Chain A
Amino acid sequence: AAGVIQSPRHLIKEKRETATLKCYPIPRHDTVYWYQQGPGQDPQFLISFYEKMQSDKGSIPDRFSAQQFSDYHSELNMSSLELGDSALYFCASSLGGGDVHGYTFGSGTRLTVV
């Protein structure tokens, strides 16, 4: 079965650079969520989109922005990168917002800021 696809798998950037992470949800899923997981930490919710509109916002820094496109894929844009942005970034998708059956997570993008 198709899963949530994230790209790239690994990304190394220097401080103050920008990065773009991409997420392709499971086919027919209309809701996308972004989470950030620092080393040894639990995943922290950043932002979600339902039907291409922002549906909820968590602890996403102002330096980050995201959007969901007409094909339901989503991109997380990160600017002025800081060392503390080094983390695993997970995208998840579901059919409908707040899907009681839970999200399906992608394999994640490991961002390292040097």
Chain B
Amino acid sequence: QKEVEQNSGPLSVPEGAIASLNCTYSDRGSQSFFWYRQYSGKSPELIMFIYSNGDKEDGRFTAQLNKASQYVSLLIRDSQPSDSATYLCAGLGAGSYQLTFGKGTKLSVIP
């Protein structure tokens, strides 16, 4: 069973703080990882993807991947109330067509 695990939260951070979202995965064959943001009742929106060990930065977002520890994280700097949503971590295995999603972490940014 390929699994992606996330803390369900809710995670509450004050506006302007750094939000740290974590994800672990069990399938060592997973090659690529994605962070999606999902507002209630809306479709998932791709925030970042990462497939190499290390950090990847895009604006206020930094994704980190550690394949040895099977760990993926997303840091959101200068958190804004509009960042309040559920963040889904997903993994894609080599040669696979399907994303395996975690349960999602609900983030609340308090003004």
Residues of chain A touching chain B, judged by Cβ–Cβ distance below 8 Å, are 31, 33, 35, 41-45, 48, 50, 55-56, 58, 88, 90, 97-98, 100-108, 110
Do the beta carbons of B88 and A43 come within 8 Å of each other?
yes
- A106 contact set on B, CB distance < 8 A: 43
* B contacts with A, residue count (CB < 8 A): 25
Q: With A42-B104, A43-B88, A98-B92 in contact, do A105 and B99 touch (Cβ < 8 Å)? A: no
Asked if B60 is at the interface (CB within 8 A of a chain A CB), the reply is no
Residues of chain B touching chain A, judged by Cβ–Cβ distance below 8 Å, are 31-32, 34, 36, 41-46, 49, 51, 88, 92, 94-104
In chain B, what residue has the closest Cβ to A32? B97
Do the beta carbons of B96 and A98 come within 8 Å of each other?
yes
Do the beta carbons of B98 and A56 come within 8 Å of each other?
yes
In chain B, what residue has the closest Cβ to A45? B98
Q: In the complex, what distance in Å separates the CA atom of A110 from the CA atom of B88?
A: 19
Do the beta carbons of A103 and B99 come within 8 Å of each other?
yes
